[in-house]
Homo-oligomer: A and B are copies of this chain.
Amino acid sequence: MNKTILLKNRPKGKPTLNDFKFVEEEKPGEKEGEILLKTKYISVDPYLRGRMRDEESYIPPFKLNEPIESGIIAEVIESRNPNFSKGDYVNGMLKWKQFQTSSGNGLNKVNKELAPLTAFLGVLGLTGITAYLGLEKIGKLKKGECLLVSAAAGAVGSVAGQIGKIKGCRVVGIAGSDEKIKRIKEKFGFDEGINYKTTDDLKKAIAEACPDGVDVYYDNVGGEIMDAAMANINKYGRLIICGAISLYNKTEIPMGPRHEGTLIKKSVLMQGFTVRDFVKDFGPAINHLSSWYKEGKLTYSETIVEGFDNVPQAFLDLFEGKNKGKMIVKV
């Protein structure tokens, strides 16, 4: 049989297990030109929360009672498509199913020799590309500048910080536990870390960690952490608004201080970043990331949860910060 996970309800506020539904289907058969895929690793990501809303965004919303999809590594177990062979591993946006067929469009073969399979969902996949292109296209990070990263121990944040160090910047990370702060400094080479949960005055803590101010802020969380970063932004500063996990489960648009005054006074740029806008730049991004990885300049953390049945819970755990780096379910 073939287990599939459907979106049962559009979550109100924080999603719950009850928003997902498991169904069992017949295992599909591939047609001429298709491949049959067995799911190996499923990426669960905060941005999926946005697709659970019935509203216009950069990708269409999930439909109710249809399978959810995300980044997946799958094994080709049958092939009637000359571009793929049995035993190949592929990476792409696929459905939360144990087995599925595909025409192969939009799938990339994975080079198992380069890195472990899960790396292609993280540092060498969309996560790494997001960190790299956000800094490149919006941050325009230059040697000697100060880079501040929120959710710094997370999948995107930890890569962004390492790229900052490769580029010769001072890099400061914000995260939510002392263990995460230790990790970003010891494992990922951040110069300084701030535990926002135990800091009374985040604005002051950033000022101390970034004595020359913040030139580029890589934002994965939004909300009050972004406000504190903005309070320390330098003239001509750039804010890469890549994620807003602090806002995703809100049922109304939250209020916060207006930033127009700071934007004007300091000629600040603030721009929403969606990696899908830069598909044509994925190739060069992957080349940079792969080279750095091979040279040992780029490492990663991941949390691997076992079992297809645990996909929804792994997704929910993202909003509790239970993951170390990239959250992945091994099927």
- Give residues in A with beta carbon < 8 Å to B: 50, 56-58, 219, 222-223, 226, 235-236, 241-244, 247, 253-258, 260-274, 277
Measured CB to CB, the closest approach of chain B to A259, in angstroms, equals: 8
User: 9 more A-B contacts (CB under 8 A) besides A244-B260, A253-B257, A266-B272?
Assistant: A58-B266, A58-B267, A219-B260, A223-B260, A244-B258, A247-B258, A247-B261, A265-B274, A267-B273
A217 to chain B, nearest CB (A): 12
Residues of B within 8 A of A268 (CB): 271-272
CB contact between A257 and one of B219, B254, B267, B272 (< 8 Å): that residue: B254
Shortest Cβ distance from residue A149 to the other chain B in the assembled complex, whole angstroms: 16
- Cα distance A263–B241 when bound, in Å? 7
- A58 — which chain B residues lie within 8 A by C-beta? 235, 264-267
A266 to B58, CA, bound (A): 6
Q: Is the CB of B264 within 8 A of A243?
A: yes
Asked if residues B277 and A272 are in contact (CB atoms below 8 Å), the reply is no
Q: How far is the CA of A254 from the CA of B261 in the complex (A)?
A: 10
Given contact pairs A257-B253, A257-B254, A257-B255, A244 touches B264 in the complex (Cβ within 8 A)? yes
